[in-house]
Structure 1
Amino acid sequence: MRPENGVGTPVDPVPFLVVAAFGFLFCYSFGPAYLMAFGAELAGGLGYSTMVFLGLTGFAYHRFVWSARPGLRGEVPAHLRLRKLVLAGAAVAAVLALLSLPLL
């Protein structure tokens, strides 16, 4: 089964599945422990983590499946790919650093 975008064109589901899987990994590995450090119960931490995961999954579906336009694919210049990769790495490092501050 291949998912279709908003106009009915089949799209590749792999980018969506990768982002959703990383969202699951991130939400359930950091969420409950982080919220329990602030005094929340385990059930509350799991509930909030589930809500964040569902939001991330909805965003990923909209971005990578529903609004995807496979006909516009083309080669992206190497300097733009490197820039996006460096910015994404810096953003992930910043988020992880911010998440670790209250646990110190």
Structure 2
Amino acid sequence: MVEAPRPRNRRGDPIDPIPFLVTTGLAFTVVFSFGPIYGLAYGLSLRSALALSGAAFAGATALAYRQLVRSAPALDAGPLPPGPRVERLFYGAVGLGVVLVALTLPLL
């Protein structure tokens, strides 16, 4: 059986692709679940709402690729120290809170 080549970070080290695939899958689900509905609520046509959702998904995918593939540490680099991990978790929680608040704006 032939094994598929692993994605590589900017230093050429192989990385685990699963975090990127999960993140882009979740981004697709959220963007295309909420995007067209909220686009229509703001008065956009369905075509425009879908195009804007597609652009948002492309942006989220590019950001995830930059963070989770290009900037990823090598598989054998070991775990991150606790300080940066807690900081990432905090910023992720703040970002999720902002997104959830933004999703309620058309309902006001």
Normalised by the shorter chain, which TM-score bucket? 0.7 to 0.9
Percent identity for Structure 1 against Structure 2: 39
Residue number in structure 2 paired with 1:26: 30
- Specify every segment of 5 or more residues in structure 2 that has no aligned partner in the other structure, as ranges: none
The count of residues paired between Structure 1 and Structure 2 equals: 103
> Would you say 1:74 and 2:79 are equivalent positions?
yes
- TM-score w.r.t. structure 2 length? 0.79
Secondary structure of 2:11's aligned partner: coil
CA drift at 1:56: 0.8
Deviates more, 1:93-102 or 1:13-22: 93-102
Secondary structure of 1:63's aligned partner: helix
- TM-score w.r.t. structure 1 length? 0.81
In the alignment, the residues of structure 1 paired with residue 94 and residue 17 of structure 2 have an alpha-carbon distance, to the nearest angstrom, of: 26
- Specify every segment of 5 or more residues in structure 1 that has no aligned partner in the other structure, as ranges: none
Alignment-mate amino acid for residue 62 of structure 2: G
1:1-104 superposed matches below 5 A: 1=4, 2-70=6-74, 71-77=76-82, 81=85, 84-85=88-89, 87-104=91-108
CA drift at 1:80: 6.6
